[in-house]
Amino acid sequence: MFGKLIKSNAHTDYVCQVYGRGEVDSPPSPADYAFGTFVRIPLSVGHGQLVGVIYDTVLLNPEFGSLGPRLSPVSDLAVFSPDYLAEKVTLVGITAVGMLAPDGMPAHGVPPLAAQIDTLVERMDDDAVCAFHRTPAGGVQMGYAPLLLGLGSPLARHLLLHVVERLGHLFPAQVATLAVLRNELAWQAAIGPLGGGA
């Protein structure tokens, strides 16, 4: 677990607050909530889990822009205004890309169910990522790719590239097919903005 949901902007767009110092025994390292990391978010009992991917990171500092002087030094603030220090948090944006049924069966695309507030968010390990992307025939699938591209974010293609790279390592037998998609995305991400044609 590296954080909890604190709000959502849309049905598939969640904001997770990353645990800070003092909130948990071992606070997560930045690698745990890196760009492109797959996460799972439990739904209510019997409905499986949401699967999402981290597509954005925001460092929140309420003090930024408050130019008034603060009389107390930082060491005193920890004693007199601990809540103030806790307001400085790291938020990550998660887009839901599918679901895992209670029996583990993956489904890609827009999940019909939404997660609840304060639900804990857990990073998925390689085996879980593999299971989510494996087709019944043993191939690889990324059925959420159009959903990510439709986000309208300038980072969407880079996010997909990141995912494809990772899947390339997890599914060596499918590397040729993944390479075609990776090359196309790389072209669109790198050359397309400079005027390269299709």
Partner 1 sequence: MTTDTPLGITRGPGETPHEYTFISPDRTQTARGGEFVTYAAMIDGETQQILGRITGRRAVRLLPNGFLADPNVPPEAVAALIGYVGQDHDLFEIAVTILGYYDATLGDFINPRLPPRPGTPIYVAESDLLARVLSKRAVGQTGAALVGSLLSRPADEVPIAIDLRAITSTHLAIIASTGAGKSYLAGVLVEELMHPRNRAAVLIIDPHGEYNTLTQMQAGKEFAAPDGYRPRVDIIRPDDVKVRTSSLTLGDLRYLLPDLSERMHYVLGRAYNLAGRKYGEKWTLAQFRMAVREAEQEISGKKSPAEEAEALSQDDDYGTAGAVIWRVNSRLESSRIFNDFESLPLARLFHPGQCTVLQLNEVDGREQQVVVATLLRRLLQALMATEKRQVDQGDENYLPYPAFVLIEEAHNFAPASADLVSSQILKTILSEGRKFGVAVGLISQRPGRLDADVLSQCMTQFILRIVNPIDQNRVAESVESVGRDLLRELPALSKGQAIIAGAAVNTPVLCRVRQRLTEHGAEDVDAPARWVEWFETGREQQGKRDHALPAEHTRGRNKLLKT
Site residues (vs partner 1, CB under 8 A): 108-109, 139-146, 174, 176-181, 183-184, 187-188, 198
Structure tokens belonging to residue 2 = 């590296």
Query: Least separation, in Å, of the C-beta of 160 and partner 1?
Result: 9
Question: 64-68: long-range contacts (C-beta < 8 A, 24 or more apart)?
Answer: none
| Residue (44 or 183) nearer to partner 1, CB | 183
Question: What gap in Å lies between CA 10 and CA 164, rounded to an integer?
Answer: 25
Question: What gap in Å lies between CA 127 and CA 141, rounded to an integer?
Answer: 15
| Residue (39 or 145) nearer to partner 1, CB | 145
Query: Least separation, in Å, of the C-beta of 48 and partner 1?
Result: 19
What is residue 130's DSSP assignment?
H
In 10 A of CB 54, how many CB atoms?
Answer: 23
Structure tokens belonging to residue 183 = 């090359």
| Residue (94 or 145) nearer to partner 1, CB | 145
Query: Least separation, in Å, of the C-beta of 176 and partner 1?
Result: 5
Question: What gap in Å lies between CA 162 and CA 37, rounded to an integer?
Answer: 9
| Residue (17 or 174) nearer to partner 1, CB | 174
| Residue (71 or 198) nearer to partner 1, CB | 198
Report which of 121, 122, 140, 120 is spatially closest to residue 130, judged by C-alpha positions.
140
Query: Least separation, in Å, of the C-beta of 185 and partner 1?
Result: 8
Query: Least separation, in Å, of the C-beta of 64 and partner 1?
Result: 39
